[in-house]
Amino acid sequence: SFLHTPLTGRISKQWCDIGFQGSDPKTDFRGMGILGLSNLLYYAEHDRANALQLLHDSQQPKSRYSFAIVGINITDLAYRLLVGGALKTHLYNVAPEMPSIAHFQQTFCYLMQEFHRFWMEEDPRDIMEFNRIRDKFHKMVLKLLRDPDTALCPHFSASDLHMITL
Ordered by start, the domain boundaries in the chain are 32-160
pLDDT tens for 72-119 read 999 999 999 999 999 988 888 888 778 889 889 999 999 999 999 999
> Given this model, what pLDDT does residue 159 score?
43
Which of 39, 9, 14 lies closest to 113, judged by CA? 39
Phi, psi of 127 (to 5 degrees): -65, -20
CB 115 within 8 A of CB 58: no
> Given this model, what pLDDT does residue 92 score?
84
DSSP-assigned letters across all residues of 49-116:
HHHHHHHHHHTSGGG---HHHHHHHHHHHHHHHHHTTTTHHHHHHH-SS---HHHHHHHHHHHHHHHH
135-144 mean pLDDT: 95
> Given this model, what pLDDT does residue 127 score?
87
> Given this model, what pLDDT does residue 1 score?
58
> Given this model, what pLDDT does residue 110 score?
93
Report the distance separating Cα 2 and Cα 119, nearest Å: 24
pLDDT level of residue 10 (50, 70, 90 thresholds) = confident
Task: Please tell me which residue, 113 or 29, carries the higher pLDDT value.
Answer: 113
Which of 67, 59, 79 lies closest to 115, judged by CA? 67
Phi, psi of 102 (to 5 degrees): -65, -35
